[in-house]
Amino acid sequence: MTRFFVIITSFCFISLLEGCDRLTPTEKICKNNPEICEDLHTDGWCRTERATLVSNRLVVKEAADKPDDKQLYDLIVSLEGYNKCMWRASGVQHINNPERTDVRARAYALSAQSLTELQDSVRDAKTPYLSYYRWTRLGDENALYRLIEAETEHPIQDATILAALAAHYLEFNAPKSLQLYLRALSLDDDAAFKADWLLGMARGFALLNKPEQQYLLEKTNLVLTERQANEQQLEAVVGGHHAVVKQLNEQAEAFAEVLKDNEFSKSVWPKRLAADIQTSQ
């Protein structure tokens, strides 16, 4: 576990509260697992980021020598978030308590070192989440190839990763891109869903010369986001035909409601869009 769970000892965590019943969840974890918190600051700054990091460190610790791909991904992302927050906090100067500034600066430096070491420790990871992290956060093209290979061998069930791969394929393999977007939507992951995925799909259908599908998806995006658009320019996609525009607008409203209700996979839309993709190949 030590190659993944990097802890740099700096100063001991000191709880400000005595009774166990008065401790926050994060303080309880730190009291029972002091090594998890030794390199973290203890004041009120970055409280959410610290709590998330402490929680993820505990998960990895309890996984012993076999933390899984997602657990390590969550750990590295939370460490990154904590480090960014501490970078901002370390720039705040305390006039009355200058030692607090020093503590935050040290916590930032230690978390930066821990983050670098953890990023390096997963440099050659072949698992989906860690490959995705190195590709999207560090621009590691080799990690992209490993991610594609991992997705080919075992279909990924994460909407965010699928959508990222879909965007990657968009300009040179539109059918593949659309299939990945469709799989992302079919997971009904409301927390991960981004309305701009629909614009990616619209672009894919445009590349396949499917103007009605392009219009439908762009219009659905506008319904969901309430963005302003040049309606004449949008309607020109389908030749400005009033009857077609009216029908597609109604469909876009219905499609948007399905997405809002997080019921895409239970609706008629997966089969309809899959058929549209299939006829384009």
Q: How many CB atoms lie within 10 A of CB 31?
A: 14
Measured distance CA(216)–CA(207) in Å, rounded = 15
pLDDT at 93: 58
Percent of the chain with pLDDT over 70: 89
pLDDT at 221: 97
CA dihedral (51, 55, 58, 60) positive or negative: negative
Confidence check: pLDDT of 7 > 80? no
Percent of the chain with pLDDT over 90: 77
| Residue 269 structure tokens | 């839309």
pLDDT at 137: 96
pLDDT at 100: 65
Per-residue confidence at 226, pLDDT binned at 50, 70, 90? Answer: very high
The lowest-confidence range among 54-68, 86-100, 222-236 is 86-100
Q: Is the Cβ–Cβ distance between 230 and 204 less than 8 Å?
A: no
- Residue ranges in the chain assigned as alpha helix (H): 25-32, 34-37, 47-62, 69-89, 98-121, 128-138, 141-153, 159-169, 174-186, 196-207, 211-225, 231-235, 242-260, 269-278
Read off the pLDDT of each residue in 164-176 and give the average, rounded to a whole number.
Answer: 97
Read off the pLDDT of each residue in 20-31 and give the average, rounded to a whole number.
Answer: 84
> 122 or 44: whose pLDDT is higher?
122
Per-residue pLDDT of 180-216, as tens digits, reads 999 999 999 999 999 999 999 999 999 999 999 999 9
pLDDT at 13: 35
pTM of the model: 0.86
Per-residue confidence at 19, pLDDT binned at 50, 70, 90? Answer: very low
pLDDT at 8: 33
Mean pLDDT of the chain: 89
Confidence check: pLDDT of 10 > 80? no
Who contacts 125 (Cβ-Cβ below 8 Å, separation ≥6)?
A: 69, 131, 134, 143, 146
The lowest-confidence range among 33-47, 65-79, 122-136 is 33-47
Read off the pLDDT of each residue in 10-28 and give the average, rounded to a whole number.
Answer: 57
Which sequence spans correspond to the domains of the chain? 20-121, 173-278
pLDDT at 43: 81
Angle at 72 between CA 68 and CA 74, to 5 degrees: 120
Confidence check: pLDDT of 85 > 80? yes
Burial (CB count <10 Å: 0-12, 13-18, 19+), residue 73: buried
pLDDT at 190: 94
Q: Is the Cβ–Cβ distance between 224 and 259 less than 8 Å?
A: yes
Helix (H, G, I), strand (E, B) or coil at 96: coil
